[in-house]
Amino acid sequence: MDLALQLYIAWGRRFVVLLDGDFEGEKQRKRYVEKFGMIMEGRVFSISDVDSTWTGHEIEDLINDVDRAALISNASASTNSGDKKALARAIQELLVRRVAVPLTAATTTAMAKVLDFLEHKLETQ
């Protein structure tokens, strides 16, 4: 993600970064601030900033198992794998194909919380 960040910084674009709330996400947050400096302050967050109960979790943990299975099974290149890459590929494919997959209230509530948080952070830049 370094190249994308470099471009957004150079172009003076408004942006925020959302990372996993696990150890690796926190490690990357610190690295981005160290590498790019103060410009990253107030721009890089983890899901634990959205909700402290999400500390230690990855972003895909916000999508419950039922919804993960539905997303993967509705992708044409579906796989039985529930791993992170398969989920990401399925979401990308469904977006490109403009296929809507109904999600449970738990997932939509979590996603709405994340989107509200990100929208607020973008507005305050």
Mean pLDDT across the stretch 64-70? Answer: 94
What pLDDT score was predicted for residue 78? 55
What is the DSSP code (8-state) at residue 44?
Answer: E
* pTM of the shown model: 0.86
On whether the CB atoms of residues 72 and 79 are closer than 8 A, the answer is: yes
Lowest-confidence segment of 7-16, 81-90, 97-106 by average pLDDT: 81-90
Q: How far apart are the C-alpha atoms of 8 and 104, rounded to whole Å?
A: 34
What pLDDT score was predicted for residue 79? 59
Q: How far apart are the C-alpha atoms of 69 and 80, rounded to whole Å?
A: 8
Give every CB contact of residue 4 below 8 A, 6+ residues apart in sequence.
none
Query: Which tens digits make up the pLDDT trace of 28-44?
Result: 999 999 999 999 989 99
